[in-house]
């Protein structure tokens, strides 16, 4: 059984080394390249760190929304329990892992996890092409509208209710996890990768084949 946890975080700003903090973190379980419906998500109290305007305009998370949220030191054990022996999958792992490591360093928690990066997988398939999440969703024909996300959640039996926000106007870490999970499944279903390494390495050339997806794109846009 191949188990993965697709993770995403929203933050106060873009620079963890300069003191920016996590304010929302989510993960979605994928087993044998199928979304199971099991999720983890929570807001995180940034302990007074200002949410920069540029970041707020992306995720629309206000200081009031996180004022009474748990501290990261309280969130981390629950997140690790959710991940268990699964391997992390992240879109742009340097960003999210950088923030997690900075949060852990503040409270003396050891964190040695690496992750498969969907950016690395995409660059191997399409060298020189755009590999941002929105670009990959378009290339793989994975719809990201609120209606499509709602349909996906019904299909996989998501274990909790979520707000089906429009990603073009507001990012949400759970929704980004669900979208990244579909990208990961599509890329891995189209070929063979050695996902035991920190950077997935292609074992053989592979043509993309949409009919091999475990989760068919839901064309509801």
183 and 197 housed in the same domain = yes
What percentage of the chain has pLDDT greater than the value 70? 86
Q: What is the mean pLDDT of residues 3-32?
A: 97
Return the number of other C-beta atoms located less than 10 Å from residue 187's C-beta. Answer: 24
C-alpha dist (Å) from residue 97 to 16, 58, 71, 104: 10, 19, 17, 10
Structural domain that includes position 199: 118-212
Global pTM? 0.86
Say if residue 179 is in the same domain as residue 90.
Answer: no
Record the tokens describing residue 69, joined without a space. Answer: 């949220």
Residue 1 pLDDT more than 90? no
What total of structural domains would you count in the chain?
2
Whether 213 has a pLDDT exceeding 50, the answer reads no
Residue 196, pLDDT score: 47
Given 115, 134, 153, the domain boundary residue is 115
The whole-number average pLDDT for the span 17-29 is 97
Domain's final residue, options 115, 132, 154? 115
72, 100, 115 - which closes a domain: 115
Domain identity same for 151 and 164: yes
**Matching residue, tokens 């949400």:** 172
Q: What phi, psi does 26 have (nearest 5°)?
A: -140, 160
Average pLDDT of 132-160? 94
Q: Are residues 109 and 122 in the same domain?
A: no
Which of 16-20, 50-54, 84-88, 196-200 is predicted least confidently?
196-200
């Amino acid at each position: 059984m191949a188990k993965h946890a697709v993770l995403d975080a929203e933050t106060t700003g873009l620079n963890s080394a300069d003191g920016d903090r996590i304010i929302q973190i989510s993960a979605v379980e994928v087993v044998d390249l199928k979304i199971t419906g099991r999720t983890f998500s929570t807001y995180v109290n940034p302990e007074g760190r200002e949410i920069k305007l540029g970041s707020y305009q992306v995720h629309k998370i206000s200081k009031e929304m996180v004022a009474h949220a748990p501290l990261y030191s309280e969130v981390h054990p629950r997140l690790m329990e959710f991940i268990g022996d699964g391997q992390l999958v992240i879109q742009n792992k340097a960003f999210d892992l950088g923030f997690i490591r900075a949060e852990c360093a503040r409270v003396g928690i050891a964190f040695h996890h690496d992750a498969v990066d969907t950016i690395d997988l995409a660059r191997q398939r399409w060298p020189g092409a755009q590999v941002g999440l929105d670009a990959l969703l378009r290339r793989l024909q994975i719809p990201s509208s609120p209606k499509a996300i709602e349909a996906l959640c019904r299909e996989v039996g998501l274990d909790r209710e979520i707000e089906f926000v429009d990603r073009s106007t507001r990012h949400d870490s759970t929704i980004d996890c669900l979208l990244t999970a579909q990208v990961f499944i599509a890329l891995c279903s189209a070929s063979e990768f050695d996902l035991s390494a920190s950077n997935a390495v292609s074992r053989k050339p592979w043509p993309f084949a949409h009919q091999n997806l475990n989760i068919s794109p839901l064309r509801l846009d």
